[in-house]
Structure 1
């Protein structure tokens, strides 16, 4: 456990931890020697000349004063180290998480990470202040007692040595069972925590589909598994506690019986017997304490192992110095990438010219969002190269790359702070005037006016107090505030109503001027505004060119454009409105000018001749 503690604290804390161990060891040695001096002191007191005990009594007094001073320093150092350990571990975990590639953040790992940063750090906090002291005392003091026993009676000392070996074997066996049970319990606790969060977040869906009862099944199963894991931990820990206690008590009884036999045999005096039994009792005491604290120590060992495993997780490599870029264009050359062995991009090559808007088009699963994440270096490609300004992103330091790029995703996460705080994340050192200007451009001022508290209104966890469109506007305001030469958009207007969409189109246009823009496009107006369009399919770029050129080719893009135009004109007819004389299960495309266009397409499936409250019509 001590070795794992050194790894978790890091080299910057080696000196403090070594000092703490030195103080604890010195205190345990002084204590052991003091107990050993009880033998000659009691021998003198119970012998024919009690006055000869004074030198031993004075030596004991000096030792106990020294022990008290060292123990006081060790106690302060233990609490100081424990507090520093908690603070630094949270910082180290946070720094590590910020460096991990996004592919690491699977659902099970996120649940374990939450438990590790909360419960596991608390499990370790008590190691320097409490558990480490008990571990040193239970090791050093009995060792000193056994060695001292050899100076007075080798037979009792040998018996005590055998007892120590038996205690070590029993402790080792109990530790293995407890560690295995704790690892299993940690996995189950993490899953239960994830299920609780999932159940809370899924309430709108569960209630909408009337599954408020059935929806409990997965959570109930997770909580039942958690209860079972707790019972298994108890079953694994109790035998160890009972076993160690039984061995310690049996050892003392054996030593008592042997000492009594030797005293009756005449080979051991009564004074020596009493003194040696005092040493035997001091030998048994820390063993009993270890039996009581063994479970906590094994849990702390597992916690240290898990934290060290996280800190040892491989991160994206960083160069010592970034290569200088030449321009702000973006290029993907023969890029291959997949998730968990499933390929997404298969030799993709494309270029986003400097100062122009490039739109990505393609079916779901074609890899459009993956392209944006690779450019931002959320993870590295399995093969091929991603370049920014002619430089491989792997040859740029993270701070250099992020200073060039702003990303606006469809799925926006807001921190549990105020509206203004969430906009300021785009550039924390920006002035209030700059923050307000970016927010107004993205129409965030409308949100502030609506909420009680205005700009200081809390947005809730994940932005729960705002609509999807409002969260999107704050995300765009962040990008406006960051003001980078490269902007990556994941169709940011997809979640907005018609009124605010126009305002945000203007904000996007202002943000895109004189910048390199890569946008995942679904809306027709975005495609019209793009300087260059790339069509993805099967992980490759199958078409590329301007809007008019691609329509003239009548290929995949032209088919996509026609389908989007058809979908844009669908509408429902309410009660009392006139229907066509056509069968009710057909409808036609309505163009932007209100006239019917294009071939008939299937409606919502109303059989011909049947009536309904609302049917499809041109």
Structure 2
């Protein structure tokens, strides 16, 4: 569990909204002054009744003050609620920005559902922190202090009785509420775990149904919900102790003041009007104290949620924009001249996961401009990892990746990625439409360009089946498309960006023979003015590559053309024989 956040961490979130908060605080002070004036005005009315004077001026002033205080209170509440929504909006935007910019390794370590819970449930709790935990506490303190001063002016002995009675209740509340923040943070963690379980089940619902595992997944989600329930009950149990303590303090103070005050009236120390004013001031004291107690409890709950938000905001984002260096211009310069360095080069690249598992060891090869290079080898040899490292998703443990002769660590990552087209093995498709997915890489592309690239990958007829054309929905994660259609759409998305190098991870794994041939014709045309780096298990798709790099257990064990490797590489010959290519 992360350490709980404090008010110091809350202040930066409130700073952009300081003006409305100051205005709300000002309204709270004015409303507090109106509330403090009312007992004195009531006492004045009681005195006027005893003297037989006209009640109209005193009653009229009391009504005006009452209405004005109520109106100011309503305006303050609206301003607070609006400001609280603004704080939640700002926090969600900041948190979403950070979540989408985290290093890829962070997504490997965390559950997506838990991250989603922080944007939703945790930020929602900040609303109560602002409305009931900041300004209202300040307003309640002002009213309480004003009431105490007024009560001291009325009768010091009654004030002493009040302070003793209320202090006992407040001490109990402070002791009880100390654990609310910790338990609230734990409850939010359980909610995050439950959300992660739901996200896991829904993202694989077809597999779960086909495996007959629905009941087990329902039970797993239910168990998470049960743990969240139990954590929430622990918070509620602790919060429930606050209310009786406050009630006992209020009732005890009222009874004590009523008894002692009656005695003081009887012996002539104070008048009935003064006792009435004191009791009204007592109510003015205990009501804001009750509000302050509730606000303090909600503040602890909100700070528990804030600690989960701060945990993510404290993570460093991926370094998208590195400081510009003179060599960075190479990322934007054309590199296809005689004698130029290769477009892409890996030299002695070493990489392993944080748990110590070695993936790549001393990998070296080159991708010249306009060439087609294939990476082949057994599963787990590190082929897909190489593409991820070229994209800069993970830092290298050793060696160097160069773009046009320049270490990519000296280039702005965003500029480098703009020159790369990357198609993952799972060919992810975003929820939305065909148009939305294509425009992901080039938001300024025209409709003719979109239709042209769809034709290049053989998707034109698929899109024309719907009268909505480019605006046909693809479903969540592209579920309304076949696996091959999703893969072709992902490739079209990359081709639309006109990259200098296409990184393709099993690009034809989900295609039939006809569409595979069509796609390779398209890629052959594309490779005329750009380089291709292809990961392939089906060797038949890369036989005509300019260079085939054979990997085994994270090392390059052979390089060459198909014919050369059949003669010189036992591993490649074994793979080719298994696929009936020799």
Match of 1:492 among 503, 507, 526: 507
Could you tell me which residue of structure 1 aligns to residue 12 of structure 2?
7
Write the distance in 2 (CA, Å) between the matches of 1:145 and 1:348.
Answer: 77
CA displacement, residues 331-366 of structure 1 (integer Å, 9 cap, x when unaligned): 445544433423344554424334133322333333
Write the distance in 1 (CA, Å) between the matches of 2:241 and 2:128.
Answer: 24
CA displacement, residues 159-214 of structure 1 (integer Å, 9 cap, x when unaligned): 54455654544343343333333323222222223333333444443444444444
Could you tell me which residue of structure 1 aligns to residue 539 of structure 2?
524
**Following TM superposition, by how much is the alpha carbon of 1:38 offset from its aligned partner in structure 2, in angstroms?**
4.6
Could you tell me which residue of structure 2 aligns to residue 314 of structure 1?
316
Match of 2:357 among 343, 347, 354: 343
Question: Map of 1:581-600 to 2, 5 A cutoff?
Answer: 591=580
Match of 1:353 among 345, 362, 367: 367
SS in 1 for 2:503: strand
Residue 232 to residue 130, structure 1, CA distance change in 2 (3 Å)? closer
Write the distance in 2 (CA, Å) between the matches of 1:390 and 1:44.
Answer: 94
SS in 2 for 1:530: coil
SS in 2 for 1:324: helix
Contact 2:180 2:239 in 1 (8 A): yes
Contact 2:132 2:295 in 1 (8 A): no
CA displacement, residues 422-442 of structure 1 (integer Å, 9 cap, x when unaligned): 222221110111111111111
Question: Map of 1:122-521 to 2, 5 A cutoff?
Answer: 122-128=124-130, 132-162=134-164, 165-290=167-292, 296-317=298-319, 318-321=321-324, 323-325=328-330, 329-355=343-369, 356-450=371-465, 453-521=468-536
**Following TM superposition, by how much is the alpha carbon of 1:502 offset from its aligned partner in structure 2, in angstroms?**
0.8
Residue 274 to residue 212, structure 1, CA distance change in 2 (3 Å)? closer
Contact 2:181 2:301 in 1 (8 A): yes
**Following TM superposition, by how much is the alpha carbon of 1:140 offset from its aligned partner in structure 2, in angstroms?**
2.4
CA displacement, residues 134-177 of structure 1 (integer Å, 9 cap, x when unaligned): 33333322122223333333344445445565454434334333
CA-atom RMSD in angstroms: 3.5
CA displacement, residues 442-468 of structure 1 (integer Å, 9 cap, x when unaligned): 112132244574433211101111121
How many equivalent residue pairs? 564
Write the distance in 1 (CA, Å) between the matches of 2:300 and 2:260.
Answer: 34
**Following TM superposition, by how much is the alpha carbon of 1:473 offset from its aligned partner in structure 2, in angstroms?**
0.5
Contact 1:26 1:70 in 2 (8 A): no
Contact 1:352 1:517 in 2 (8 A): no
Residue 466 to residue 153, structure 1, CA distance change in 2 (3 Å)? same
Write the distance in 1 (CA, Å) between the matches of 2:158 and 2:225.
Answer: 52
Could you tell me which residue of structure 2 aligns to residue 99 of structure 1?
101
Contact 2:35 2:66 in 1 (8 A): no
CA displacement, residues 239-261 of structure 1 (integer Å, 9 cap, x when unaligned): 22333333333333334344344
Residue 281 to residue 420, structure 1, CA distance change in 2 (3 Å)? same
Stretch moving more, 151-160 or 420-429: 151-160
Contact 2:80 2:131 in 1 (8 A): yes
CA displacement, residues 82-140 of structure 1 (integer Å, 9 cap, x when unaligned): 34334333322221122111221247541122222223333334554565453333332
Contact 1:417 1:458 in 2 (8 A): yes
SS in 2 for 1:122: helix
Stretch moving more, 467-476 or 360-369: 360-369
Contact 1:45 1:53 in 2 (8 A): no
Could you tell me which residue of structure 2 aligns to residue 581 of structure 1?
none
Match of 1:30 among 30, 33, 39: 33
Could you tell me which residue of structure 1 aligns to residue 340 of structure 2?
none
Write the distance in 2 (CA, Å) between the matches of 1:134 and 1:414.
Answer: 47
Could you tell me which residue of structure 2 aligns to residue 16 of structure 1?
19
Write the distance in 2 (CA, Å) between the matches of 1:560 and 1:159.
Answer: 93
Write the distance in 1 (CA, Å) between the matches of 2:482 and 2:565.
Answer: 36
Could you tell me which residue of structure 1 aligns to residue 572 of structure 2?
560
**Following TM superposition, by how much is the alpha carbon of 1:489 offset from its aligned partner in structure 2, in angstroms?**
1.3
Write the distance in 1 (CA, Å) between the matches of 2:345 and 2:176.
Answer: 58
**Following TM superposition, by how much is the alpha carbon of 1:549 offset from its aligned partner in structure 2, in angstroms?**
4.1
Q: Which runs of 5+ in 1 are unaligned?
A: 569-590, 598-618
Question: Map of 1:1-80 to 2, 5 A cutoff?
Answer: 3-8=8-13, 11=15, 13-31=16-34, 33-35=36-38, 37-38=40-41, 41=44, 45=48, 67=69, 70-71=72-73, 73-80=75-82
Write the distance in 2 (CA, Å) between the matches of 1:477 and 1:24.
Answer: 58
Residue 174 to residue 383, structure 1, CA distance change in 2 (3 Å)? farther
**Following TM superposition, by how much is the alpha carbon of 1:469 offset from its aligned partner in structure 2, in angstroms?**
1.2
Write the distance in 1 (CA, Å) between the matches of 2:493 and 2:463.
Answer: 15
CA displacement, residues 295-322 of structure 1 (integer Å, 9 cap, x when unaligned): 6444333333322332222212343446
Q: What is the TM-score of this pair, normalised by structure 1?
A: 0.80
**Following TM superposition, by how much is the alpha carbon of 1:419 offset from its aligned partner in structure 2, in angstroms?**
2.0
Write the distance in 2 (CA, Å) between the matches of 1:533 and 1:402.
Answer: 24
